[in-house]
Amino acid sequence: MGEPVIYIDPRRARELDMNIALQKIYYRPEGYYRTAEKMYNTCKKAGYKFSLKTDLNEVYKSDLTPLSLDKIGNRIFKHRGVIKDVTTRFCKSCALTNKSSASLAKMFKAIYEDSSNHLTWPKVLIVDKGTEYLGECRDLLLSHGVKIIQAKSKRSTSIAERDHQEFEKHTYIRQDAVDFLLPLSERCRSWVKGLRLNDDIYNDTPTRLIHMSPNEAVKRALKGEKIIADPSVKHRRPIGFEEPRLTYKDSVLYLLEPGELEFGNRRITDMNWSPKVYRIKESLIQKNQPVLYWLMDENGDGPERSFVREQLMKVGKVEYPPKWVLKQY
C-alpha cells in the first residue's frame, strides 16, 4: 500500500500562515493594536509582507439597470452598466443594447483595455446575483484573475446602485426640459449622449465620504497615499468596541427583506420578522462600525447575509401555535 498523499492548496496555506502570524502579533503582551493601521505597521516591522488595506484597482463594484429606450442609428440602447472603484469612488459607465453576459463582457473589455484611463483588472469584483454576470462575462473575469463575489443583498452593491440613481435624476431632468419644447405626440428618450459627460462631471466633483473628487483620490492613491472614507451613516448610539453586544445565548428574530418570505408585491399583512427563532452564530467588531451578526437555527442553518442590531429583535421564550392548526389549513 502506497504512502498517503496530502494535497495542499497554496492559497489556503498562505491565508493560514497570515492568520497565525496575525494571532501571534495581536495576542502578545507587548502591545494592543486596536486599528488595522497599527497592525499593518507592526506586521511590516516583524518582516511580514502581506497588506491589510484596500488599494486602488483592488475592489470594484458593478451593477446594471434598465433605462428608457434610446435609439441611435440602428441600435436601441436599453441598459446602463457601471463599474466603481471602492477606494476612490472613480466610475466608468457604458450603454448596452441588451442584458446578456456577452454584452457585459464587451463592456468590461472596453473599459479595462482603454489606455486613456488608469483602470486595470481588479482583484475582487462585487456584483449582484444577476445571470448577466455568468457565462462569457464570468469566463472573461476569471481569465484575468478576478475574484467574483456575489452580494447577499442590494446593500452590498450600494455604491453602484447610488451611481445609477444620481445618473437617472440628472438624465430625466434633461429629458423633461426637452419635452416642454416638443409636441405631445413626441417624447425625449435620449440619455446615451450624456453618458461620458456625466462620468466626467462626477469624477471631478468632491464626494462627501472621502472629502475629495475621485480624480483627486486617484492621483493620491497612485502616489501611495491611503484614502480613508467616513462612515456612510451617522449612528446615534455607541458603535464599534463601545456597542453593547448580543451574546451567543440570546434568541432573536431578524427583519425580513421585502419579498423574502412572500413573493411578489409586499402586502400589509405580510410578516415583518422571521417566523423562526435564531441564535448568534458569530459576530464581527470593527472600529467606528456597527457590530455585524450572523445567525443560525437549531440545525446550524441560517441566512447568508449579516445583520446589525436594529435588524434583530431579542425574544425570550417563544410559544408557537398548537399543531392542530396544521390539520385545518
Contact 132, 99 (CB under 8 A): yes
Q: Which domains does the chain have, with CATH numbers?
A: 53-229 (3.30.420.10), 238-314 (no CATH)
Outline where DSSP puts E strands in 218-329: 251-254, 278-284, 292-296, 312-315
What's the confidence (pLDDT) of residue 18? Answer: 62
In this structure, the strands spanning 124-127 and 147-150 are parallel
Helices 195-203 and 158-179 pack at an angle, to 10 degrees, of 120
Q: What is the DSSP string of 89-148?
A: --EEEEEESS--HHHHHHHHHHHHT-TTS-----SEEEE-S-GGGSTHHHHHHHHTTPEE
Helix H or strand E encompassing 82: strand 75-85
CA atoms within 13 A on the CB side of 197: 7
What's the confidence (pLDDT) of residue 32? Answer: 47
What's the confidence (pLDDT) of residue 52? Answer: 42
Predicted model pTM: 0.66
Q: Which residues of the chain have pLDDT under 70?
A: 1-55, 259, 262-266, 325-326, 328-329
CA angle, 83 as apex, 79 and 87 as ends, to 5°?
A: 155
What's the confidence (pLDDT) of residue 282? Answer: 86
Outline where DSSP puts E strands in 236-284: 251-254, 278-284
Burial 239-255 (b: 16+ CB within 10 A, else e): beeeeeebeeeeebbbe
Identify any residues that bridge with 149 across adjacent strands, giving them in sequence order: 126
What's the confidence (pLDDT) of residue 53? Answer: 45
Give the cell for residue 282: 458569530
N residues, the chain:
329
Contact 123, 199 (CB under 8 A): no
What's the confidence (pLDDT) of residue 72? Answer: 85
Contact 226, 53 (CB under 8 A): yes
Q: What is the DSSP string of 48-78?
A: -----S--TTTEEEEEEEEEEEEEETTEEEE
What's the confidence (pLDDT) of residue 89? Answer: 87
What's the confidence (pLDDT) of residue 37? Answer: 55
What's the confidence (pLDDT) of residue 46? Answer: 56
